[in-house]
Structure 1
Amino acid sequence: MEALIRIKDSTQHWFARNLKGDRWIWFICIIMLLWSIVVVYSASVKDAYSHKQGDTEYYLLKHSFLCFMSLVIMYVIHKIPYIKFIYVTRIAVWSSIFLLIFTFFFGTSVNEASRWIEVPIIGQRFQPSEWAKVALVAHLSLILARHIKGGWNPRELFTEPLALVGVVCGLIFTSNVSTAMMLAGICFLLMFVGKVPIKYLVLTAIGVVFCAAVAILLNSTQRSGTAQNRIASFLDKDVVVYQSQQSYMAMARGGLYGEGVAKSRQRRFLPEPQKDFIFAVAVEEYGTIGGMVLISFYLIILYRGLKAIEVTKRPFGGLLSAGLTFTVVSQAFSAMAVTVGLVPVTGQTLPFFSQGGTSLLFTGIAMGMILSVSRGENVEEQRL
């Protein structure tokens, strides 16, 4: 008994010494990643038999490794004082623009969308739009923080916030309409909070539309036609979208308490059940109660991410935490809204829950930055 008490005390001491920042965010992220391993293993059975000769452990091991790497990235990033991010935000956002342009012309196409860059040797696909989301929000937070007390002039506005948001969102729009619209909305919200005049927000919206239109004309629409078809099908009540139909059936089977762990039947018919529609599989297996628990996790992340603003003494920290929190949570609720039929099919995944490589890793970066802000500043960091 004494040995168990010593182990417990030493474990608590290690966590208290090494895991800084908001403990609620740490707790929820760890629980969600562990839970996702079970759900992804269940939901990926169809793909395991279709693409991996029945090797169901392939996706289990791959997702488990990515979850572990996401936690490692969170840990490393959260140890960095958030004020040091100001030195890399500009490089990050311009590198993301370069990668988006490269993907535009030379990217690997999947489902008629050129969203990925194939990494040589390891054969892993990399999605630059995930990097662009984090980089743009971080750099925009820095720009707004420097002008939080006003003093904007037209040249500064057009060279940084307006042009930057327009170019990044326009490039993403060609291959991922929903991500571009969501990112543009978060940038507008940040700019509004950062006290950018309304007339310049309108100009930013015009800039985003213009850049998206130019990119579409150059690339012969790529995903815009798909987006139009999805919106038309969503608005036409006589058309039953196959993905939505299977999703509704999965959630109806779940009822209040669910079918049980790994007992989903609709996973065999849902397209991308371990990615886009994993929320439907979770509700089928864990019921409405499980779905509500998952929703509450994201709501707590939203609350704690915004509460971190109280700890920081600098506008940059507050804007950074708010922007990244909105990015993660809005993607989550967008994916769940698709599952329950509130919005057209978008292809968004659940952060820290769906199977994914790039998404998991860059969500880890975003959450690590939020945790870094929630740590506050000690005397040494304030001198920086």
Structure 2
Amino acid sequence: MDSVIRLKDLTQAWFVKNLKGDPWLWSVAVFLLVGGVPVVYSASVMEAYLEHNGDTEYLLYKQIQSAGMAFLVMYFVHLIPYTKFVIFSRLGVWLSIILLFLTFFKGINVNDASRWVEIPFINRRFQPSELAKVALIAHLALVLARRFKKGWNTLESLIEPIFMIGLVCALIYRSNISTSALLGATCFMMMYVGKVPIKYLFFTFCVFIFFSGVLVVLKLGQRGGTAEKRIEQFFNSEKVEYQASHAFIAMARGGLTGEGVAKSRQRRYLPHSNSDFVFAIIVEEYGTLGAIFVICAFLLLLYRGLKAIEKPKRPYGGLLSAGLTFSIVFQAFATMAVTVGLFPVTGQTLPFISKGGTSMLFTGLAMGIILSVSRGELEEKTI
């Protein structure tokens, strides 16, 4: 008994010493990362069997690797004082713009969309839009924090953030309309939290609506036809989209307590069951109760991530944490809304859970920055 108590004390001491920041945020991140592994494994059995010579555990090891790498990124990033990210914010935005242009001309085309570039020498795919999301949010937080201290006196002070947001979202729009829309909504919420005057917010909203309309009318997006078809199917009550119909069947089978771990049947028929529609598998195997746990985890992340706004001495940290929190939570609830039929099919993954190396790593990066902000009080004298 004494050895068990001593082991418990040593474990607690290790966590207190090494895992700094908000313990609730750590709990949410670890719960979602660890809990996502058996879900993705179950949803990937058929895909792994068909595409990897019967090796049903291939994607299990890939998911464990992705979750482990995300945790390591999150851990090492949270040790860095968040004020250090000021140095890389503008550089990160311009680097992501260059990579998005590179994707435009030489990107790898999958499902009629060029979203990936291949990293030389290691032959791994990389999705520049994931970098662009984190970099743009970090840079916008810096711009808004500086204006937060000086005040919003003229409309000209909004030119730089509007230009940056518009350029990045337009480049992402070409291959991923839903990601562009979610990033735009995140930036708009950051501007609202950053106390941009209502008249300037209204002007910004009108500008983005106008240019979004231009992009739609000119059909400049690679996935414009697909998006239009999905929206038509969404509003057509007589014909349910194939993926959505099987997602509904999976959730209906789940009931209150679910079919049990790795007992999903719809994983055989539901396309992208380990990525875009993984929430349907969660409901089928773990029931409504399991889904509520996942929803509550993201709501807790939203609540704790926004706590940093209450610190008046660090507007940059508050806006940075709020922006990245909005980004993760908006994507999560958009994915869940699509699964239950509230939104048209978008192709968004569920953060921390869905299969996807690039998405998992940058979610870990974003969470590491949020944890860095939560570590303690810093007076931002140099920002």
TM-score normalised according to structure 2 size: 0.94
Partner of 1:328: 328
Q: Residues 72 and 34 (structure 1 numbering): CA distance in 2 closer, same or farther, change over 3 Å?
A: same
1:153 aligns with 2:154: yes
* 3-state secondary structure, aligned to 1:88: helix
* 3-state secondary structure, aligned to 1:118: strand
Distance 1:142 1:322 in 2: 12
Partner of 1:57: 57
Q: 1:157 offset after TM fit, Å?
A: 2.0
Distance 1:128 1:249 in 2: 35
Distance 2:56 2:312 in 1: 45
Partner of 1:272: 272
Q: 1:210 offset after TM fit, Å?
A: 6.2
* Partner AA of 1:156 in structure 2: S
Alignment of 1:232-251 (within 5 A): 232-251=232-251
* 3-state secondary structure, aligned to 1:291: helix
Distance 1:58 1:204 in 2: 47
Q: 1:156 offset after TM fit, Å?
A: 3.4
Q: Residue deviations 1:25-83, cap 9 Å, x none?
A: 10111111111111111000121122111111111111101101111111111111111
* Superposition RMSD in Å: 2.0
Distance 1:374 1:189 in 2: 20
* Partner AA of 1:287 in structure 2: G
Q: 1:204 offset after TM fit, Å?
A: 3.3
* Partner AA of 1:195 in structure 2: K
* Partner AA of 1:355 in structure 2: K
Number of matched residues? Answer: 382
Partner of 1:354: 354
1:189 aligns with 2:189: yes
Q: Residues 180 and 4 (structure 1 numbering): CA distance in 2 closer, same or farther, change over 3 Å?
A: same
Instruction: Tell me if structure 1 keeps the 8 A contact 2:108–2:118.
Output: yes
* Partner AA of 2:154 in structure 1: N
* 3-state secondary structure, aligned to 1:246: helix
* Partner AA of 1:373 in structure 2: V
Q: 1:11 offset after TM fit, Å?
A: 1.0
Partner of 2:176: 176
Identity within the alignment, % = 57
Which range moved further: 254-263 or 196-205? 196-205
Partner of 2:83: 83
Instruction: Tell me if structure 1 keeps the 8 A contact 2:66–2:360.
Output: yes
Q: 1:219 offset after TM fit, Å?
A: 8.3
Instruction: Tell me if structure 1 keeps the 8 A contact 2:173–2:221.
Output: no
TM-score normalised according to structure 1 size: 0.94
Instruction: Tell me if structure 2 keeps the 8 A contact 1:234–1:344.
Output: yes
Instruction: Tell me if structure 1 keeps the 8 A contact 2:74–2:364.
Output: yes
* Partner AA of 2:230 in structure 1: R
Distance 2:202 2:382 in 1: 38
Which range moved further: 100-109 or 312-321? 312-321
Distance 1:235 1:329 in 2: 25
Q: 1:336 offset after TM fit, Å?
A: 0.3
Instruction: Tell me if structure 2 keeps the 8 A contact 1:311–1:375.
Output: no
* 3-state secondary structure, aligned to 2:121: coil
Partner of 2:142: 142
* Partner AA of 2:93 in structure 1: V
Q: 1:120 offset after TM fit, Å?
A: 2.8
Distance 1:238 1:217 in 2: 27
* Partner AA of 2:51 in structure 1: H
Where does structure 1 lack aligned partners over 5 or more consecutive residues? none
1:374 aligns with 2:374: yes
Partner of 2:294: 294
* Partner AA of 1:77 in structure 2: V
Which range moved further: 214-223 or 324-333? 214-223
Which range moved further: 260-269 or 310-319? 310-319
Instruction: Tell me if structure 1 keeps the 8 A contact 2:45–2:57.
Output: no
Distance 1:331 1:39 in 2: 19
Which range moved further: 56-65 or 308-317? 308-317
Partner of 1:96: 96
* 3-state secondary structure, aligned to 2:148: coil
Distance 1:218 1:3 in 2: 70
Instruction: Tell me if structure 2 keeps the 8 A contact 1:338–1:344.
Output: yes
1:124 aligns with 2:134: no
Q: Residues 56 and 305 (structure 1 numbering): CA distance in 2 closer, same or farther, change over 3 Å?
A: same
